[in-house]
Amino acid sequence: MKNSRNWIGGEWIEPTAGECAVINPSNTKEQVGVLHLSDSSQVIQAEQAAREAYGPWSGLSGPVRAGHLERMADLLQSKSGDVANLASMEMGKPIAEMRGEVSRGVNLLRYYAAEGLRANGAVIPSSEQNVLQFTRKVSLGVAGIITPWNFPVAIPIWKIAPALICGNTVVWKPAELASLTATRLAELFEEAGLPPGVINLVIGKGSQIGKAMLEQTPLDAVSFTGSTSTGLGIAQICAKRNIKYQTEMGGKNAAVVLNDADLETAVPLIVSGAFRSAGQKCTATSRIIVESGIYDSFIKKLSYALSNIKLAPALDSEAYLGPVASASQYETVMSYVHMASEQADILAQGPPLSGDQDGYYIRPIVAAGVGAGHPLIQEEIFGPVATVLEAADFEEAVALCNQSIYGLSASLFTQNLSHAHRFLDEARAGMVRVNQETAGVEYQSPFGGMKLSSSHTREQGQAALDFFTELKTCAISYR
Ligand code: NAD
């Protein structure tokens, strides 16, 4: 049985503001561990520890900080199976996908470690003689990192690694549903020899300690990923305090299939985008927009592909999708499943659970027959439910794709170069892809959305380095 713990200033502390059982979503009769909840005093302590560590950490050279990240990567790599197992048991992501996510975490640590050895500014010609003018990217201070449960390893690391390499220290509040995994990661970072206070982990409820972090500590920056409603509230608080923030939020991503699409490519990528991780990715394909001429043959192939995927416990290495993550996720997603069975046509359904475990399993469905303004088309469901819309031509397909308050990711399936380029131009999404699924943007590329999907900042790749630093313009005269 695992226990969540706080890691503050290099000390392990079991908070006492409450506790609850961590239940395996693949088998609700199994308790995986105990979640110990913090109150605001631990958040304040964590911020103080991060602030104390900030001077020495930001004073280290880039290559020395890089060495720390390399050791964190080595440790995570050596314990990757163990971390993936725990995360699968805690939040229900199939083990094969979870292993891939841990490898992504290792790659992210190595990518940002390398940044410790790269240039972090530019020399700008001065109009005066004997003046050296240049920019430097400098750290922000203490960064608050607030993360969701759906990528319990990759999202925390894609925020923490760039924050650290730029010289910031961190207070990290993971989602309640991913707290055991977060504790395990912090244990590895300690084992890797990270100096005390550089990362401080505080476990607890977002509405309490997340809020306290923003309102009761003098954080210098906040990087948040989660729902749009929470993110907009966080943005308001940060804007009022004039601190730098980024909020990566919800999505309602469309895959558009044109008459000339290669269905052998499109169908598996759409099934994967919609149903892997049980649809619980911010970049999941949740709207499928199909041009009329190919509609019937596409639906036929989609139904066949869906009937061949496996819904199974997360630790089954052949599971295509596992359960949804929690009882409350189950209730929310099932309310949309009921809505679909009452108000839409169910075009295709995946097989039921293979086995007889009690868990938060939801059979994947594809629905159609509702208008573009219907909640099934407009609201983020975050579960294995996709809806189909028919479009008369490319122009209508793009208009439907853009008819959303969200703008995270969008895909087009076509063989037509002109439509491919026009889609890249016209789709209002932060990540636009042709003949690729809506999910799966590589870690070295900027990640983020337009409209209500993001604060218009970007994560991953070089973009994360811009977020976790600010620019200082320097000039020195040596006449
Ligand atoms: P959530 O908003 O409920 O929680 C996210 C984090 O915020 C958690 O750590 C939570 O404890 C914390 N939190 C909650 N209320 C808070 C408050 N008042 N103040 C401070 N912190 C608070 O989201 P979730 O259910 O964990 O994750 C699912 C959502 O995340 C979906 O909407 C999904 O689209 C989104 N998501 C977006 C991306 C992206 O990059 N755009 C990636 C993954 C998930």
How many angstroms is it from 146 CA to the middle of ligand 1?
Answer: 8
Q: Are 371 and 393 in contact (CB under 8 A)?
A: no
Q: Whose CA is nearest to atom 28 of ligand 1?
A: 226
Contact 430 CB / ligand 1 (< 6 Å) = no
Contact 446 CB / ligand 1 (< 6 Å) = no
| Distance between CA atoms of residues 401 and 411, nearest Å | 9
How many angstroms is it from 380 CA to the middle of ligand 1?
Answer: 13
Radius of gyration of the chain (CA): 23
Do domains 2-249+454-477 and 253-442 share one topology? The answer is no
Contact 226 CB / ligand 1 (< 6 Å) = yes
Nearest to 210 by CA among 249, 175, 239: 175
* Span between the terminal Cα atoms of the chain, in Å: 68
pLDDT confidence of residue 356:
84
How many angstroms is it from 401 CA to the middle of ligand 1?
Answer: 24
| Distance between CA atoms of residues 195 and 186, nearest Å | 12
For the beta carbon of residue 337, count every other beta carbon within 10 angstroms. Answer: 19
Contact 248 CB / ligand 1 (< 6 Å) = yes
Residue with tokens 């309102």: 215
Q: Whose CA is nearest to atom 11 of ligand 1?
A: 206
How many angstroms is it from 240 CA to the middle of ligand 1?
Answer: 21
pLDDT confidence of residue 1:
85
How many angstroms is it from 126 CA to the middle of ligand 1?
Answer: 46
| Distance between CA atoms of residues 163 and 120, nearest Å | 14
Ligand 1 atom closest to the CA of 459, numbered from 1: 40
Q: Which residues make Cβ contacts (< 8 Å) with residue 235, sequence separation at least 6?
A: 245, 247, 455
Ligand 1 atom closest to the CA of 174, numbered from 1: 9
Q: Whose CA is nearest to atom 26 of ligand 1?
A: 148
Q: Whose CA is nearest to atom 20 of ligand 1?
A: 210
Instruction: Give the residue numbers annotated as catalytic, written as ranges.
Output: 248, 282
The CA-CA-CA angle for residues 77, 227, 84, to 5°, reads 20
Candidates 160, 280, 282: which one to mutate for ligand 1, based on the most atoms within 8 Å of Cβ? 282
How many angstroms is it from 147 CA to the middle of ligand 1?
Answer: 6
Q: DSSP H helical segments within 218-359, as ranges?
A: 228-241, 263-275, 295-307, 327-343
Q: Whose CA is nearest to atom 18 of ligand 1?
A: 207
For the beta carbon of residue 238, count every other beta carbon within 10 angstroms. Answer: 21
Contact 382 CB / ligand 1 (< 6 Å) = yes
Check whether domain 2-249+454-477 has CATH 3.60.21.10, yes or no: no
The partner residues of 201 in beta bridges, in order of sequence, read 7, 172
Contact 225 CB / ligand 1 (< 6 Å) = yes
Contact 206 CB / ligand 1 (< 6 Å) = yes
* Nearest-10 Cα torsion for 224, 228, 233, 239: 60
Half-sphere exposure of 439 (CA within 13 A, CB side): 25
Ligand 1 atom closest to the CA of 226, numbered from 1: 30
Q: Which CATH superfamily is domain 253-442 in?
A: Aldehyde Dehydrogenase; Chain A, domain 2 (3.40.309.10)
pLDDT confidence of residue 354:
79
Q: Which structure tokens are listed for 437? A: 């699924």
Residue with tokens 């189950």: 330
Q: Whose CA is nearest to atom 39 of ligand 1?
A: 248
How many angstroms is it from 52 CA to the middle of ligand 1?
Answer: 28
Q: Which structure tokens are listed for 218? A: 């003098």
Residues of the chain short of pLDDT 70, as ranges, are: none
- E strand or H helix at 172, and its extent? strand 169-173
Task: Report domain extents, the chain.
Answer: 2-249+454-477, 253-442
